[in-house]
């Protein structure tokens, strides 16, 4: 991706590690949403250095609303599954 194109993309999630960002990216890619991860793996800074240690999931602006909705839906499902397990 060129630097110009990347500037046009928007953040839909910022998480604490590359692995979580990769899971979110996989979800979005499974719905054919183009995605890029910016984060600590490509940075010389330690992962726990405040905002510099965040992995950012980026998508094109015209797909951002759809991406955020998918992420929110999965988080809701995960919370519900955790609640069901704790009730057992």
Could you tell me the domains of the chain?
3-87 (3.30.70)
pTM value surpassing 0.75? no
Q: What is the 3-state secondary structure (H, E, C) of the chain?
A: CCHHHHHHCEEEEEECCHHHHHHHHHHHHHCCCCCEEECHHHCCCCCCCHHHHCEEEEECHHHHHHHHHHHHHHHHHHHHHHHHHHHC
**pLDDT tier, 53 (very low <50, low <70, confident <90, very high otherwise):** low
Above 70 in pLDDT, residue 82? Answer: no
Cα separation, 88 vs 16, in Å, equals 30
Tens-place pLDDT, residues 31-49: 999 999 987 665 555 555 5
pLDDT on residue 76:
85
Q: Which two tokens stand for residue 77?
A: 């499902």
């Amino acid at each position: 991706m060129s630097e110009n194109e990347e500037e046009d993309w928007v953040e839909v999630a910022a998480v604490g590690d590359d692995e979580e960002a990769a899971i979110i990216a996989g979800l979005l890619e499974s719905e054919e949403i183009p995605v890029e991860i910016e984060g600590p793996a490509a940075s010389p800074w330690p992962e726990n250095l405040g905002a510099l240690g965040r992995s950012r999931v980026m998508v094109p602006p015209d797909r951002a609303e759809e991406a955020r909705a998918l992420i929110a839906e999965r988080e809701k499902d995960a919370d519900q599954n955790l609640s069901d397990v704790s009730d057992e």
